[in-house]
Amino acid sequence: MTDRDRMWDVQQPRLNQNPPSLSQWFHQAIQDSTLRLRIRLRGNNLHLLLENKVAPDSHHLVPRLTAALQTDADSFYRFFQKTADPVYKIILYGRATGQERPAWIESIILADLHGSDRPTSAAHPGDVALISNESLARTGAPEAIARYLSESLSHLGVSVKVLIQKLPHLDDSETPDPQTAHRRLWVICSCDYSPDPSLIAEPIAQQLRELELEGFREAVIRSQVSGEAVPDWVLQVDLTHPKELLHHWSQWGDEQAINRLLNQQVAADGLQVRAILQDSTLHVFCILHPSENLPTAIPHANPAIKGVSHCLTTIRPQGIKAAAIYGIPQHKLTLLQPHSPLDLEHLQADPAWVNWLPLPASHDPDLAVSPHTLAQQQSPVALTFLLQRLLNPNIEGFLATGGIRVKLCFRGHLLHVMTEAVVCPRQTLVAGLVGPFIRDLHIHGITGVRIYGRRAGQSSPLWSQAVNFESMAAGEAAADSVPLALESPPVTATTRHGGRWERWRSRLHRAGCLTGIFLPHPDAVWQPAPTRWHGQQGLKAALLWAMVGLLLTHQVDRWWGRSVQVTADTYSDRETVLSLETDLASGTHHSAVSSAILAAARAENPDFNNRLLNEKLALYQERVQQSGPPDILIVGSSRAMRGIDPSVLSELLAANPQAPQDLDIFNFGINGATARVVSLLLQQILTPEQLPQVVLWADGARAFNSGRPDQTFEAIAQSEGYGQIERGQFPPNATTTENAAPIRPAVSPRELQKHLSHQYQDLNQWLQDQVGSLSALYPHRAEMGDWLRTHFAEPVAVMQQELEENADPDAVFATQEPITADGFLALDLRFNPKTYYRDHPRVSGAYDNDYQDFELRGQQDEAMSRLLRYLDRRHVEVIFVNLPLTQDYLDPIRGEYEAQFIDYMTAIARRTDITFRDLGTQWETEYDYFSDPSHLNRYGAQQVTLHLAEDAQIPWDLKLD
């Protein structure tokens, strides 16, 4: 039995015990030692059962306990100092011994006792507290919100604690009021078991939205099982104010939203309206409120026209060019009821007055286009609205719980639609509506849609469905071409069951005997012809089984290849699906990750087999097109992407009066980038016109190790984009670079011996590639590995640990954390050596693949030399920063390699014009600055950025001149 459910049964209290127990405190408070007490804590409620031979009198006990709680509250709350969940209410039960049901039940709201000079009446304390909690909760007070939610959850044994998190302000124009919605509400539900999300999620979401909180962007509900370190499930609730939702939908011309806003506008004038949209004209019928008005009574024209005109001109609805405002007599009131069938011609007949109102869309070309037309032109915002309205036909439910939310992105010829709600949307409902709707829109260039469903707050979908429009059309055509009837002889019951099976069994029998492997049954009717190869039966069987094995291998490979390819298309790779989610760390529905994906989808760049390179390149190209190349470009691996914050560096340098103001800085760090990858990026992928004034190269020794396989570069070298670079087709507008070195330099004689030593590995890789080219599964081996890990490896702790030893932490963080608009990856995670290695293996430098065959002279060194010469000709300044590492990471092996690298970079700095700064051991014991042993978090990035901005040996004003 846990502490939460522990029950104390005390017949006679021991008043001499020091310190007193909770039961003794209650006995002293109620001043009656003859009572038997039973105490139980469930949720945020403390239940106190009082028993005696005769049911105790509530009129005496409740005031005594209330007075004790007011005068001696400190001693009472001392009993709950070690509990994680606060107590909001005490519920008292009184009954006679042996009775099953209590004679009376009273409750005391602890919040009502503070600040009050009089004892709280216990006659109806629940009603008073409910009103008080709800009214206080609307102000946004966390304790009041917790008490308000606890009213409906404590009976389930769920305790509630509410926290408020401040979020950065948004500059998103789609957010109605970005300056006020800058807070997130955390609702932590703790209990001794794992409640079903559908049991408590929807009531909490509805209660939170009913509060209509101001200044909150969203709420995150976390279910925490007592004693567990990881939450059982997380749910996200959109707290956008209903007025903002109504205004947003009405701006897109939604008829239901416009009706509600119009009625709110004219209600003060004693009117009600009904708006009906027909084509691009909104027909607004005004009538008096239902009352004792005569059937001939009509509304006054001036206030009705003024109210409707003000509301519609403020809304500026999309695609609605004009409004016709009618004054309707009272006898037509029944025709305007929300659920009554609408007869537009009857309503328009014999109006008391009519007014024609041109709307902003009549003279604004951008507003004149209908949402359907914008959706056909691949407008994500218009299509999102149409899909949300399709999936939420009842606006009342949408405003109450947030309804089904839609996030989408265009990727190639596919449209990916993620649907989420408090309870995961039903696949049959969503797919049955979204698929035909997208197909009927005829969006240019879209041949299929991938639909996903998940519970809001989850990072991956619970279901997915692929709809291919071309295959649907082909299937319909094929169905039309099937003949209606085929003539066949009548089939008897024996032929349908026994005869068909006998024929197939006979054929299989004959085929098996023809192989020579199987022998006929002595009673078989059919006997095989004698063969002359009895002596070679073993060889024949071996050859045949080998052929069967190869055939089965080929069929299984094709089947797995098709299955994995369909799965990959369905999820549109893991990065795309995860980029569709609402990231809790960014606090916005339109994070830089989704912007990068949309930019990559709009760009005409070829694929480089590197998702981050594709997306950052598209973002960078759009940035250069809008405002020119940045002043400073940060390059390097994931250590650079997490290690230098562009926005902080821009602010710090702007404080220097000698440095240029409003510096534009972009972080182009790529996971696993080596010197060859950076050289390829700056020399062959970016054009000379896209280069910055200063390249800030931030990395370390392992990015310059020529002895290890360069997997990142080799993956890019197999891409379509790399092929276009070799053919001189990318970038399309790049000028011919004189003296450009080849991308794959010839092997020097000095390295010939080393290359010969690796010929066995090269031959092995060549054989794998040749055999893999014949396999349908080989190109999708990564997806196959992910599938196997998900279904078989992850549930097993030992296998999971083995997988983590070979896992790429860069890839893991890249798919889970969002980048900023400047390309920076901000991580809040703090490295703790005491807990980190519980989930991650400790790998020494001797077994670290990043330092395998450590050699600074080779292909990485040559790539850097070519790049420095190229940038020098382009007058681009280079600053190289050796980023910090933890003392826990720098064991003697890695420390020796790092020392070699520092000497190597110091020598390069002497003979070239680059600036080298060594920060490798600057904060080696400040573990709070790191997210893992070798990567900085956002706090460490701020320290590094501050150090670089204030470094006297870096003349920023001269380099940026």
Convert the pLDDT of each residue in 630-645 to its tens digit. Answer: 999 999 999 999 999 9
If we measure between CA atoms, which residue out of 576, 532, 513, 530 comes closest to residue 783?
576
Per residue in 222-251, pLDDT tens? 887 776 777 777 888 888 888 888 888 888
Residue 296 carries which DSSP code? T
Alpha helices in 749-891, H assignment, sequence order: 752-757, 759-773, 781-788, 797-806, 809-816, 833-839, 859-873
- Specify burial of residue 658 (Cβ count, 10 A radius: 0-12, 13-18, 19+): exposed
Distance CA 852, CA 635 (A): 23
- Which has more pLDDT, 778 or 477? 778
Three-state DSSP at 83 gives coil
At residue 746, the pLDDT reads 42
Per residue in 663-679, pLDDT tens? 899 999 999 999 999 99
Average pLDDT, the chain: 75
Question: Phi/psi of residue 198, each to 5°?
Answer: -65, -15
Distance CA 663, CA 652 (A): 10
Cα-Cα-Cα-Cα torsion 873, 874, 879, 881, nearest 10 degrees, comes to: -90
Per residue in 707-733, pLDDT tens? 999 999 999 999 989 999 988 888 876
Distance CA 355, CA 301 (A): 9
% pLDDT > 70, the chain: 70
Per DSSP, the residues of 357-422 read EE-GGGT-HHHHS-HHHHHHTT-HHHHHHHHHHHH---HHHHHHH---EEEEEEETTEEEEEEEES
Q: Is the peptide bond before 731 cis (omega within 30 degrees of 0)?
A: yes
Asked whether the CA dihedral 50, 56, 62, 64 is positive or negative, the reply is: negative
At residue 796, the pLDDT reads 38
If we measure between CA atoms, which residue out of 629, 637, 632, 678 comes closest to residue 868?
678
Residue 495 carries which DSSP code? I
% pLDDT > 90, the chain: 19
Region 337-364: mean pLDDT is 77
- Specify burial of residue 275 (Cβ count, 10 A radius: 0-12, 13-18, 19+): buried
Q: Is the peptide bond before 380 cis (omega within 30 degrees of 0)?
A: no
At residue 510, the pLDDT reads 62
Residue 498 carries which DSSP code? I
Alpha helices in 252-300, H assignment, sequence order: 255-266
Place of tokens 């400040």: 926
- Specify burial of residue 896 (Cβ count, 10 A radius: 0-12, 13-18, 19+): middle
Region 535-551: mean pLDDT is 69
**284 half-sphere exposure, CB direction, 13 A CA radius:** 31
Would strands 45-52 and 89-96 be described as parallel, antiparallel, or unpaired? parallel
Cβ contacts of residue 693 below 8 Å, gap of 6+?
A: 629, 631, 632, 876, 877, 959, 960
Instruction: Please state which of the ranges 204-208, 436-440, 577-581, 811-815 shows the lowest mean pLDDT.
Output: 577-581
H or E stretch covering 104: strand 104-109
Going by pLDDT thresholds of 50, 70 and 90, the confidence category of residue 598 is low
Place of tokens 């946004």: 140
Cβ contacts of residue 904 below 8 Å, gap of 6+?
A: 704, 856
Q: What is the CA radius of gyration of the chain?
A: 36
H or E stretch covering 185: strand 183-191
- Would you say 706 and 860 are in contact if contact means Cβ atoms under 8 Å apart? yes
Distance CA 697, CA 925 (A): 24
- Would you say 696 and 634 are in contact if contact means Cβ atoms under 8 Å apart? yes
CA triple 881-882-886, angle to 5 deg: 140
In whole angstroms, how far apart are CA 382 and each of 248, 266, 312, 681? 11, 29, 19, 36
Q: Which amino acid appears at position 42 of this protein?
A: R
Taking each helix axis from N to C terminus, what angle separates 573-580 and 592-602, rounded to the nearest 10 degrees? 130
Distance CA 623, CA 629 (A): 7
Region 682-703: mean pLDDT is 94
Residue 510 carries which DSSP code? H
Per residue in 65-84, pLDDT tens? 888 887 777 777 777 765 65
Going by pLDDT thresholds of 50, 70 and 90, the confidence category of residue 810 is very low
Distance CA 679, CA 795 (A): 42
At residue 759, the pLDDT reads 53
Give the number of other Cβ atoms within 10 Å of residue 872's Cβ.
14
In whole angstroms, how far apart are CA 783 and each of 307, 570, 601, 699, 808? 59, 12, 22, 30, 15
Highest mean pLDDT among 762-776, 815-829, 891-905: 891-905
Highest mean pLDDT among 104-113, 471-480, 594-603: 104-113
Residue 140 carries which DSSP code? T
At residue 25, the pLDDT reads 80
Task: Name residue 238's beta-bridge partners.
Answer: 218
Cβ contacts of residue 677 below 8 Å, gap of 6+?
A: 670, 710, 712, 713, 716
At residue 585, the pLDDT reads 36
Ramachandran sector of residue 224 (left: φ over 0; alpha: ψ -120 to 50; beta: rest): beta
- Would you say 184 and 164 are in contact if contact means Cβ atoms under 8 Å apart? yes
Distance CA 923, CA 636 (A): 20
Task: Name residue 104's beta-bridge partners.
Answer: 94
Would strands 216-225 and 233-238 be described as parallel, antiparallel, or unpaired? antiparallel
At residue 271, the pLDDT reads 85
Cβ contacts of residue 900 below 8 Å, gap of 6+?
A: 701, 854, 856
Per DSSP, the residues of 325-351 read EEE--GGGGGGGSTTSPP-HHHHHSS-
Q: Which amino acid appears at position 617 of this protein?
A: L
Per residue in 1-54, pLDDT tens? 444 444 444 444 444 445 567 777 887 788 777 788 888 777 777 888 888 888
Per residue in 608-661, pLDDT tens? 988 889 889 988 988 898 888 999 999 999 999 999 999 999 888 888 776 677
Whether residue 740 has pLDDT greater than 50: no
At residue 495, the pLDDT reads 38
At residue 279, the pLDDT reads 85
At residue 843, the pLDDT reads 83
If we measure between CA atoms, which residue out of 310, 243, 325, 242 comes closest to residue 276?
325
Cβ contacts of residue 606 below 8 Å, gap of 6+?
A: 719, 720, 721, 723, 724, 730
At residue 876, the pLDDT reads 93
Per residue in 264-288, pLDDT tens? 888 888 888 888 888 888 888 888 8
Distance CA 203, CA 209 (A): 10
pTM over 0.85: no
- Would you say 674 and 638 are in contact if contact means Cβ atoms under 8 Å apart? no
Distance CA 943, CA 649 (A): 10
At residue 175, the pLDDT reads 44
Highest mean pLDDT among 111-115, 347-351, 425-429, 944-948: 944-948
- Which has more pLDDT, 292 or 300? 300
Distance CA 361, CA 581 (A): 33
Quick one: tokens of 825?
A: 């990856």
At residue 179, the pLDDT reads 44
Cα-Cα-Cα-Cα torsion 651, 653, 659, 665, nearest 10 degrees, comes to: -80
At residue 906, the pLDDT reads 92
Highest mean pLDDT among 86-95, 344-353, 570-579, 815-824: 86-95
- Which has more pLDDT, 768 or 450? 450
- Which has more pLDDT, 822 or 521? 822
At residue 694, the pLDDT reads 94
- Which has more pLDDT, 634 or 544? 634
Whether residue 178 has pLDDT greater than 60: no
End-to-end Cα spacing for the chain: 72
- Would you say 141 and 130 are in contact if contact means Cβ atoms under 8 Å apart? no
Place of tokens 């299955």: 563
Quick one: tokens of 567?
A: 């799965």
Whether residue 319 has pLDDT greater than 70: yes
Distance CA 297, CA 208 (A): 42
- Which has more pLDDT, 782 or 929? 929
